[in-house]
Structures are given as structure tokens and as C-alpha cells.
Amino acid sequence: MAVAAVALAAAAVATPVATSASAQPDSARKHLVDVQLLSFNDFHGNLEAPSGSSGRLITGHHIDPATGKPVDDTVNVGGVEYLASHLAEARKGHDRSLTVAAGDLIGASPLLSAAFHDEPSIEALNKLGLDVTAVGNHEFDEGYKELQRIDAGGCIDDGDGKDNQNSCAAHEYQGADFDILASNVIEDASGKTILPAYSIKELDGVKIGFIGMTLEATPDIVTAEGVKGLTFKDEVETANALVPVLKKKGVKAIVTLIHEGANLPKEKWTDPATGKVYEVNARYDYTCEGGGELVAGSPIVPIAQNLHPEIDMVVTGHTHNPYVCDVPDPDGKSRLITSASSFGRLYTETNLKYDLKSRDIVRSSVKGSNLLVTRDIAKAPEQTTLINTYKELVKPIASRVLGSITTDVKRDQSPAGESALGDLIADAQLADQSTVVDGQVPVIAFMNPGGIRADLTAANSPYGEAVGDVTYDEAFTVQPFNNYLVSLTMTGQDIYDLLTQQVAGANASSHKILQVSKGFTYQISPSGPVDGSVMLNGQPIDKAASYRVVTNNFLQGGGDAFAAFTKGTDPYYGGLDIDAFSAYLEANSPYTPGPLDRITGTH
């Protein structure tokens, strides 16, 4: 479990290795030793190999002969049984190796982990040898007191489980064996960080300090209750202030683990048959060295540019993108920045030289690459045992069939931003009666696209149900947050403002198109909704009139930079979103997705 930052000595002893083909004299080379850092991020409790698009990564491209357009080549990857095996294999031959992560290891998890308050995921990460991680925004989904319990261990007195959750179902939960860092998260009552700010690791003469933090904007993307009583500080100011603290402890090699990330542009790909150049999605091994670049407006870029020059490397996350790039420090010196996608589908291997004499990392030696967690190797048996234990415990909940679908219902968005799965969820929320109060029935539902975590597939699952049947497990994987539905009254102008915020302000660089319920239609443009196009059941929305809407409590609190929701009046809290989703599937089975015609235009 995370404790006050202390030096931990490794048992392995290595012979110093000189740099190969180096022009340095022997007297300089003998002070250099090899160090390996293995890193990943955004695991999100994916113990079992994720399915559908969540379990694939892009390896290349080819031309579809039917359409003449490029399509992605993909490979199935991920699953903690395979991640643990790949990490164990990668460590072979490396006497000095550390495994680190950049947050969101828990939260927004599949039912197998979420049903037990993510205790199984922490146990799995203990077993695979994680040494230290930063917190991410999803570590706050159940509040910081619960995060502190996750770190320290202990059980929640929840009996047989509330909201299909049960603590200590298999045994007493012992907590995390790795350090969980939260350097920029301050408890208002005490003025102290809720968890340690940094950790120092020692490996046979090598001493490396790790500073861990989440994005300052965490309160904007977590429910208000989850971050109540906390202040999230500026990332650069926090990290830079800790550099002299670490130096006083004799630490000159410093790595920042930060739960913030970059967006990737489309790649250029040349069809080998015709020589024609296309714009395609980025591969898993996206690197700036290979000609790529990070989107200039990405949140991590100004952070990385301004982190103290004595910070040697930056491990990032949050955006679920794969990249290994260079963002120069304030002195113009190259500094590696990495991210390993999400869900345990990738890990980053970084190899570097550490100078035992100067006690620092040789910056020019730092080389990283992203590696696939393929499923063609033996599973880690200890992980299989853990998974089987919890699968048996969760089976009564997970295997219940809710209904059926006639075809896959996917998250893939139209050019306007609408998805079939988004339509289904919004309709389910509108149909839910738990948010009706005093005869006020919601007429529009809004769903955030980031809350839709997986496709709903017609293929049968491990529980043996018929093809097309949807189990509670599958439904929960789509909507794993246990958010509450909230009805509120908004003016027509509020709704216009809301639709504008999808493509403006904090969402200008990465648009977030809300999913909407049946009967609500509009035309989107790069600057927002086209005036006069916003309709409810064929009638224009009156900007001066009031409308009862329903959404989840995350959005109602202004999450994802949708401040227009906070102007809503008379909020009324109903049931859980997963319950509304489950009930709708049961009442509308078999379900067939309709046309994507609620949102038109392009953005």
C-alpha cells in the first residue's frame, strides 16, 4: 500500500553495463548502468480480455476492394492474464526494472471488478508487480475516502452488497502493495495531500523519484460528490515545487506520472499498390520519431513544455491514445513523453542509462516503445485463479439475461456525432419513470458519449446465453458508473447553449457530441447548433420556454464542461442509469437500432 515516500531496496544485484559503441573512455562508461521502466495507464479494471473494439488496436491499413477506401488492420489484445505474462517476459535480463502507471487503474470498470468495489483489480495489479502509480480522475468515482481505503485495505460494511456491489466477498481486502501518488490533490480540511506526493525507488545504487498526479480539471469530469472537500492544484506548479524536495533527499533522476494526455492527428498512409496517400487512424506504435506529432492543443503539451528541466521523463494517460514522443523541456532539451493506450492492451518499455557517479539519468539514452499485449502467450496462472474466483462470485448477477438485440449496437458515431448505442441509452433514460416528479415528465434526454464504455454485441458471452441475448454483465460494461438520473427544467436558450458547448470552450479542441432521445432533432455545425433547427417532435424549440430534461448526475453537475446544465432548476434525483438501461432492454426486446437521423450536419 502507499505509504510516506520512502526508498525501497530491490533484492536483485546487477553488474554495471557500459554503453555500447560509445566514444566515452572506460572511466566514464563504467559509471553507467541500464534501467528499464515498464509503464501503462487507464487499465479501468479490465481483468478479462476486453471484447469488441475495446479489445483491439490498429496495426496497419489496407484498401477495402469493395469501397476502394482504406480500412484498419487490427489485432485482439489485452486482458490482465496476458499483461502480467508480457511484463514478466519483458523484465527478463533486466536486473534493474520498475513498473509504473499513470492513473485510472480503477473506476469505469467492467462488472467483474466493479461489483467488488474494484478490489479484484488492485489484487491483480499487486500480483503483476506494479511499483507505483499516479491517481487518475476515475479513482475519485466513489470519493477520496474510498480511494484511501483502496490504498490501505479494509472492508466496507455493505452486507450482501448495495447497488450490486460487495466488499471483501472472497476474503478480507488487504490494500495496494504499490504506491498511489496524489501530489496535487489537497484535502481542504487538513491542507495536506490525500495520499503521498512522491515516491523514491532504489535499485542497486540507482535512485529514482516519482511524482504522481491527476489532471487539475478532475472536478470537471467527476461527480461533485466524488471530489467534495478537495482542491486540485496546477500540475506544473505542483511538480516543479517537488523537484527541490527530491534533490534534498539526494534524488536527481525524476520521472513524472501524470493522468493527462495528448490527442493524435490522422496519420498519412501510402497505398503500396497505387502510391495514393490517405489520412488514416494512428497505429498502436505511433511515435514522433517516426514522423508523427501530438495535436498542438492537447492538454499535456503545455504541461510537458513547462515541467522543470530536471524532470527526465513524463508518463501520461487519460486520452487512451498510444504515443511515444519528445516534448522538449524549458531548456530545449529532449524529454520523452509516453502513453500506452488503455485497458491493458499496450505497455511501454523504456530503457535508459543511469550514471552512478552523477546519480542522474542520461537523457540522451532514454528510448521508449509501445508493445502489444497479444493473446498468443501463456496466461499468468495467478491471474487466472483470481479471475475465476471472482467470476464465480459475480455469476448470479452477471448472467441474468435482460433481453436481446438483433444486431450489434455500436458507439461508432455518424459525421454529425450520433451513435446507435447513444440513441438507445438516451431513449432508456427518457423512458425511466424514477425521475418523474409532481407530474413533470421529461421530454428530452442527454447522454455524454464518454460514459458509453463499450459496444453492445450480439455474440454470445461466457454465460452460455443465446446469440443476441444481452446479460446484465454486458449492459454494465456499457454503462459502468452507477450514475444517478436527474430531471431538471431548462429553458430553450439553455438547450441552445448546451448544444453550443459541445464544440466550444473546453470542448473546442475535442468535440463532445451529446447523445439525444427520440423526437429531439437538430443540425450541428462547427460553431454549434444551426439556429432554428433544434426541434422537439417536429416543433422548433422556443428559447423563452421551459422544458423538462433528464440526464445523469455527472452532466447535471456541469461535467465535461457542459455548464448549461448547472442553470437547470428544480432538480430531482431518480434511480441509477444502469437500472434504467436494463429495464429498457427488458421492455423493448428484441431491440433493433434505428437510423441515425436525430443529429444532422457536421462539426
Q: Please, which residues have CB within 8 angstroms of residue 96's CB and are 6 or more apart in sequence?
A: 10, 12, 14, 33, 34, 35, 36, 203, 204, 206, 354
DSSP state of 196: -
Q: Are residues 406 and 533 in the same domain?
A: yes
- Residue 503, in any domain of the structure: yes
- Residue 388, in any domain of the structure: no
| pLDDT class of 483 with cuts at 50, 70, 90 | confident
Give me the mean pLDDT over the 266-291 stretch: 91
Last residue in a domain, options 325, 352, 383: 383
- Residue 16, in any domain of the structure: no
Q: Could you read off the pLDDT of 420-435 as tens digits, one per residue?
A: 999 999 999 999 998 9
**pLDDT score, position 45:** 94
**pLDDT score, position 161:** 63
**pLDDT score, position 540:** 98
- Residue 437, in any domain of the structure: yes
| pLDDT class of 30 with cuts at 50, 70, 90 | confident
**pLDDT score, position 108:** 82
Q: Please, which residues have CB within 8 angstroms of residue 417's CB and are 6 or more apart in sequence?
A: 449, 502, 511, 513, 524, 599, 603
Q: Could you read off the pLDDT of 497-529 as tens digits, one per residue?
A: 999 999 999 899 889 999 999 999 999 999 999
Residues spanned by the domain of 508:
401-601
Q: Please, which residues have CB within 8 angstroms of residue 21's CB and are 6 or more apart in sequence?
A: none
**pLDDT score, position 26:** 52
Give me the mean pLDDT over the 479-500 stretch: 93
Residue type, 246: L
Would you say 299 and 260 are in contact if contact means Cβ atoms under 8 Å apart? yes
- Residue 5, in any domain of the structure: no
Q: Kindly report the CATH number assigned to the domain that includes residue 577.
A: 3.90.780.10
Last residue in a domain, options 321, 351, 383: 383
Give the relative orientation of helices 381-398 and 119-128 as an angle to the nearest 10 degrees: 170
- pLDDT for 391 beyond 50: yes
- Residue 77, in any domain of the structure: yes
Q: Are residues 511 and 378 in the same domain?
A: no
Q: Are residues 226 and 309 in the same domain?
A: yes
- pLDDT for 5 beyond 70: no
Last residue in a domain, options 323, 350, 383: 383
Q: Could you read off the pLDDT of 11-24 as tens digits, one per residue?
A: 222 222 232 334 45
- Looking at every residue in the chain, the average pLDDT score rounds to 91
Q: Are residues 367 and 491 in the same domain?
A: no
Beta strand extents in 41-105 (DSSP E only): 56-63, 70-76, 97-101
Count structural domains, the chain.
Answer: 2
**pLDDT score, position 4:** 33
- Residue 3, in any domain of the structure: no
| pLDDT class of 215 with cuts at 50, 70, 90 | very high
- Residue 291, in any domain of the structure: yes
- pTM, two decimals, is 0.81
Q: Are residues 196 and 84 in the same domain?
A: yes
Q: Are residues 360 and 270 in the same domain?
A: yes
Q: Kindly report the CATH number assigned to the domain that includes residue 313.
A: 3.60.21.10
Q: Are residues 362 and 300 in the same domain?
A: yes
- pLDDT for 9 beyond 50: no
- pLDDT for 481 beyond 90: no
Q: Are residues 427 and 333 in the same domain?
A: no
* Residue environment code for 554-580, b if the CB has 16+ CB neighbours within 10 A, otherwise e: bbbbbbbbbbbbeebeebbebebbbbb
Q: Are residues 429 and 295 in the same domain?
A: no
Give me the mean pLDDT over the 580-594 stretch: 96
Q: Are residues 206 and 348 in the same domain?
A: yes
Q: Could you read off the pLDDT of 134-164 as tens digits, one per residue?
A: 999 999 988 999 999 999 999 998 866 666 7
Q: Are residues 427 and 318 in the same domain?
A: no
Q: Are residues 459 and 333 in the same domain?
A: no
